[in-house]
Amino acid sequence: MASNEEVRNQTAGTDTKVRGREINLLPAVDIFEDPHQITVQAEMPGVSREKLNVQADRDELVIEGDIQIDMPAGMTAVYADLHSTRYRRSFVLSGELDTERIEASLKDGLLTLRIPKRMEYQTRKIKVNVP
Amino acid sequence: MFETLFGGFDADLFDQLRRLESEAGQLFGPYARGAGIRSVHRGTFPPINVGATPERVDVYLFGAGLDPKRIEVSIQQNLLTVSGSRALDANQGAEYYRRERYDGDFRRVVTLPDDVDPEKVEAKYRDGVLHVAIQRRAATRPRQITVS
């Protein structure tokens, strides 16, 4: 396989991205928007708070994490759906999102990111006064 | 250390084997040795990795955000069944762009080696991974015999 060749195996939830020998698991995500924010929920089972890395600049959001689980010494693999211990996925952000105020929480391998919209972009209901 | 469970076998080789398996299936049709009767489509929730040592078999199920009270683990002889359900929050009024997370009931069945002891099973859920450890019977473990 050429080192710059990118192969994507589409499988629900646990897409694997192969670039040369480097394999990253693509976390399954739900992304939804309400008038105030965009919420990203990413599945990263096996990743603890210490092994999670979330980075955001103006344009890009990167989610990374390493799986760490208890394994006895001398174990041999019998069967594996997951072929890597590393999750990585990135998204291009848009300008109205306030990346300075992203809130992140990780519970039971589920990462939730709340990315607020800048105040001036938040949808406001305008009340019509009837005289 | 992690190589043993995730990358111990050559990933390329593994893919080649799988491809060969499917090609053989097409070439020889019903005469080819097919997939296990309880095997599932790749990508079925939750993904599973299984590792073994002479002392025990370890099954890892990767299911984020599960409620441990709604996971059922049962073992009959050498057949391990994990079932449960995951109901995602309905975010009323939100507009979805991506909905990739699995929602609903799940069930996975793993055929373990014949020497496992169904009485000695431990299961714990941490960081979104359900780890089931099943002890193997001592009598069937390989023993070193000293030549005198």
**In B, which residues are within 8 Å of A33 by CB distance?**
94-95, 97
Is residue B116 in a domain?
yes
Q: Which pLDDT belongs to residue A44?
A: 97
Say if the Cβ atoms of A83 and B6 lie within 8 Å: yes
Compute the nearest-CA separation of B28 from chain A (Å).
25
Same domain (yes/no): B19, B56: no
Closest CA–CA distance from residue B91 to any residue of chain A (Å) = 8
Confidence of residue B33 (pLDDT cuts 50, 70, 90): low
Label residue B35 by pLDDT band (50, 70, 90): low
Distance CA A56, CA A62 (A): 6
Do B73 and B56 belong together in one domain? yes
Are residue B85 and residue B51 in the same domain, yes or no? yes
Query: Do B110 and B59 form a contact (C-beta atoms < 8 A)?
Result: yes
The better pLDDT of the pair B9, A3 is held by B9
Q: Is B65 a domain residue? A: yes
Q: Domain for residue B9, yes or no? A: yes
Q: Which residue has the higher pLDDT, B131 or A73?
A: B131
Give the pLDDT confidence of A35-54 residue by residue, as tens digits: 899 999 999 999 999 999 99
Give ipTM to 2 decimals. Answer: 0.77
Are B30 and B5 found together in one domain?
yes
Quick one: CA dihedral B78, B131, B90, A27, positive or negative?
negative
The reported pLDDT for the residue numbered A129 is 87
Say whether both B44 and B28 belong to one domain: no
Structural domain total, chain B? 2
Provide the pLDDT confidence category of residue B2 given band limits of 50, 70 and 90.
low
Closest residue in A to B44 (Cα–Cα)? A12
Question: For residue B102, is pLDDT > 70?
Answer: yes
The answer to whether the Cβ–Cβ distance between B127 and A34 falls below 8 Å is: no
Residues B59 and B16 in one domain: no
Please provide the distance, in angstroms rounded to a whole number, between the alpha carbons at the two ends of chain A.
73
Do B85 and B67 share a structural domain?
A: yes
Same domain, B16 and B78: no
Of A17-21, B45-49, B111-115, which has the strongest mean pLDDT? B45-49
Query: Tell me, what's the pLDDT at A113?
Result: 97
Residue B97 lies in a domain: no
Strands (E), A10-107: 15-19, 22-26, 29-33, 37-43, 52-56, 60-66, 76-80, 86-92, 103-107
H-only helix segments in A29-89: none
Cross-chain residue pair A28–B101, CB shorter than 8 Å: yes
Domains and CATH numbers, chain A: 6-70+80-120 (2.60.40.790)
**B71 lies in the same domain as B116:** yes
Q: How much is the pLDDT for A38?
A: 95
Q: In whole angstroms, how far apart are CA A117 and each of A22, A104, B62?
A: 35, 15, 32
- Domain range for B2 is 1-34
Q: Give the pLDDT confidence score for residue A98 in this predicted structure.
A: 93
Q: pLDDT (tens digit, 9 = 90+) per residue, A77-114?
A: 888 888 889 999 999 999 899 999 999 999 999 999 99
Q: Which residue's entry shows tokens 């890597």?
A: A84
Task: Collect all residues from A whose CB is shorter than 8 A from any CB in B.
Answer: 1, 11-14, 18, 23, 28-34, 39, 41, 43-48, 67-85, 107-110
Residue pair B65/B102 in contact (Cβ under 8 Å)? The answer is: no
Provide, as residue numbers in chain A, all residues whose Cβ is less than 8 Å from the Cβ of B92.
none
What are the tens digits of pLDDT across the range A113-127?
A: 999 999 887 777 788
